[in-house]
Amino acid sequence: MIARFCAVAAALTAGPALAGGLLISDVFARAVPEGAMASAAYMSIANTGETADRLIDARAPIARRVEIHTHIMEDGVAKMRRIEGVEIAAGETVTLEPGGLHVMLMGLTGPMDDGDLLPLTLVFEQAGEIAVAAPVIALRPRAASHGHAGH
């Protein structure tokens, strides 16, 4: 899965972003049908610094509201839940991926088609704002696979 997204990201020159000791890579967003109101963005955040940081907010011009979500299992059903932030400890890498942590894009004001490049601003407690470009990719509907959405 990751290798495929890397290749696509490289082709669109949406390379990794490094700021404040944070290396953000494998950024992508889910393509949605026209008229859809919500989508999500995913990425890996590696903290190469000496202190912990937290992803506390995100913004995207295409979405009226952006939240940080996780998935939880409740009575055997996967549900999304808003969380206040994502801690990235020093030396650790946190992966936002389908079925897990994600940046939720709500109230979409335009299309998100496969091949688009979505500007996204991530807000960290320590590193501040980091702008990335997320390639929009058509993902298959997620079955009960565990992190193999690309296969």
Closer residue to Cu ion (CB): 50 or 82: 82
Q: Site residues for Cu ion, window 55-74 (CB under 5 A)?
A: 69
The reply on whether position 27 binds Cu ion by CB under 5 A is no
In the complex, minimum distance from the CB of residue 69 to Cu ion, in angstroms, rounded to a whole number: 3
The reply on whether position 80 binds Cu ion by CB under 5 A is yes
Closer residue to Cu ion (CB): 127 or 139: 139
Dihedral of alpha carbons 12, 18, 19, 25, sign: positive
In the complex, minimum distance from the CB of residue 20 to Cu ion, in angstroms, rounded to a whole number: 26
Sequence-separated (6 or more) residues with CB below 8 Å from residue 124: 20, 22, 53, 54, 55, 56, 130
Chain position whose Cβ is nearest to Cu ion:
69
The reply on whether position 30 binds Cu ion by CB under 5 A is no
What's the DSSP call for residue 142? P
Number of residues that bind Cu ion (CB under 5 A): 3
Assign 19 to helix, strand or coil: strand
Closer residue to Cu ion (CB): 60 or 104: 104
38-76: buried (b, 16+ CB within 10 Å) or exposed (e) per residue?
Answer: ebbbbbbbbbebeeebbbebbbbebbeebbbbeeeeeee
Binding positions for Cu ion, rule: CB under 5 A: 69, 80, 104
